[in-house]
A = this chain, B = another copy of it.
Amino acid sequence: MSRRNTEVTVGAPQGVGALQDTVEASARARVEETCPMVEVLGRVSAKWNISILVAVSEGPVRFTELERALVGISRRMLTLNLRNLERDGLVVRTVYPTVPPKVEYEATPMARELYGSLLALTSWAERHREDVTLARARYDATAEAPSAAR
């Protein structure tokens, strides 16, 4: 995913590899730094991961509890996302070798640092979901609806 191609005439093979060679240090350094962290951002900001992280940040949660909390997620996706989060050190997976298997997931300290921001995001999403829906409808209407459209 970290491929880059900004029309640099460097002729870097589009294949993978090709590390960043252009260094633009300016007032927007924050944004420019995204390249290395886009990957991390992408992981955290994935559709379900935000909800998952919020859930596991509130204490140990069992697999089934998560499945119920995240309405609409498939078991496969839940498993996959949890694995990825675990791999990135954001979630700790604890297996209790009991008869009915019991597995608990919990956020690591590092992940808990995000709790506040994540909560802010979700609450924002709730507050503005109507506005967004309206804006979309309006946009679609003006872009495609008019008499001569298309």
Q: Hey, which bits of chain A sit against chain B, CB under 8 A?
A: 1-7, 12-14, 16-17, 20-22, 24, 28, 30-48, 50-51, 54-55, 58, 67-72, 74-75, 86-90, 110, 113-114, 116-117, 119-126, 128-129, 131-136, 138-140, 143-144, 150
The DSSP consensus for interface residues of chain A is helix
B120 touching A116 by the CB < 8 A rule? yes
Known: A132-B89, A136-B21. A143 touches B3 (CB 8 A): yes
Contact B55 A47 (CB under 8 A): no
Residues of chain B with a CB closer than 8 A to A43's CB:
132
* Residues A72 and B38 in contact in the complex (CB < 8 Å), given A45-B50, A47-B16, A87-B139: yes
Q: Nearest residue in B to A30 (C-beta to C-beta)?
A: B122
